[in-house]
Every structure is written in structure tokens, then in C-alpha cells.
Amino acid sequence: MQRELAIIQNDPEVPAGVFGELLTEWRVPFRIVRPDLGELLPAAGDAAIVLGGAMGVHDEAAHPFLREIKGWLARLLADGTPLLGICLGGQLLAEVAGGMVSSNRCGEKGLVEVELTGAGAADPLFAGIPRCFPVFQWHNDSFTIPPGAAHLAGSRGCPGQAFRTGNAWGVQFHPEVDGAIVAAWSRKTPDAARLTGRFAAAEAGHRALARQLLANFLDAARPGGR
């Protein structure tokens, strides 16, 4: 991918993490856009990643920029722009595509085993990724798979872990986190030592997952990609 990738960061505590490091390493042009700080969303783009955030998709009164993101995602979906939504980003994408987002239905925190469906195992986003893999989760809200979308992955507690609609993918989990991000989120909980310890033991494999998934998305986002 030669053109600029837009990364939409909705929350100061939810940065691009490992994804930012990898894009810099690979010399992929990208820019961080902060709609939570009043920055304008790109009018058009070659591809975009929408990150997570502590707010929920229905919190538009407290966070008016969420309404702008939803309209922007709807336009990019219609245009066929390659998109990857992570956690809140995946939930926003799911709602725009016709799915439902609800609270406290199947929240997860920490490393969780996710399993690909048959469609997921065949999808280019998960090429080279094992059928079952542990990945970091941090959510109370969750999405249903939008009508007509491909259901790509689920976990035992939360069946909606990944979907694809057109050139857009939504995931509930956080492939982009690193140890520092996990530590910052976990210190707000009484379970911080266990959460950070488990992630530290699995971080090398988690980084490998992030590398493969991001490379797959960039390949799919290239002109002529799948």
C-alpha cells in the first residue's frame, strides 16, 4: 500500500500501539486523526483503521463526534473504501452496517481464546493466523453480525468477534495493544497483576498476531486486493 492510511483515534488512552510501530517500520504513510479533539475526518481516503475508546456507540450526547464518525463510515462503506474497525471502531461499523450494539451482554477483559469460523479461516484478513488464537479483549459492549455480513470469528463468551461486509472488517478484540497499554488499562482494576502478567507471558505471540493481521489488511487494501 503506497498511499496514506488514516488511523482514527477516539480516546487519548487508546492509541495505535503496535500498529503504529509496524507502519513506521514498514514505511507505510499514515496519519493519526483525533475527532475527539475536534480534528476533521478525512474527506476521502485510501484506507482507514478506526480504533477503540472508553465511550459507547450510543454516547453521542456526551461525544458528538461519534455521530460524525457514523456518517463518515456510511460514506466509506458505500464507496468500498477498505476499513478496519477495532473494538469501539468495530461496533460503530457494525451499527452503520445494520447490526446491533448492546451493553453488558458479553463483556470480556484480558486474553481470550478466539476461534475463526469457516468463513474466517478463508478470509484474507486472517490468512496465516491459526484457527484458534488468544487475543486481548477490553469491552463491555458487543455487536451482532450485521445482516448480509460474513461472520468471521467468535469466542466462547462472545460470539461476535469479527465480521466482514464488502471491503470493511470489524473486530471486537484489540490486536494493536502492547504491554504499556495493557498496564495502563489494567491498573484501573483490582485484577491488574493477573491481567498484566498473563499478557506479558503472551506478548511475543500477540505481537506476531498483530503483525500478520495488519499486513493482511494492508494487502487487502491495495488496489486489486481482496
Give the per-residue pLDDT at 103.
87
Q: Convert the pLDDT of each residue in 51-102 to its tens digit.
A: 999 999 999 999 999 999 999 999 999 999 999 999 999 999 999 999 999 9
Query: How many Å apart are CA 72 and CA 67, to the nearest integer?
Result: 9
Q: Average pLDDT for consecutive 10-residue bins of the chain (226 residues)?
A: 85 98 97 98 88 96 98 96 98 98 86 98 98 97 97 96 98 98 96 97 98 98 72
Active-site residue, 176 included: yes
Q: Distance of CA 96 to CAs 66, 71, 93, 126, 200, Å?
A: 11, 8, 5, 23, 35
What CATH number was assigned to the domain covering residues 5-221?
A: 3.40.50.880
Give the per-residue pLDDT at 1.
47
Task: Name 155's bridge partners.
Answer: 114
pTM of the model: 0.96
Give the per-residue pLDDT at 107.
85
Strand order in the sheet with 162-165: 30-33, 5-8, 47-50, 83-86, 168-171, 162-165, 150-155, 101-116, 132-143
Active-site residue, 87 included: yes
Give the per-residue pLDDT at 222.
86
Domain residue limits, the chain: 5-221
Give the per-residue pLDDT at 188.
87
Active-site hit among 63, 139, 151, 174: 174
Active-site hit among 87, 95, 108, 158: 87
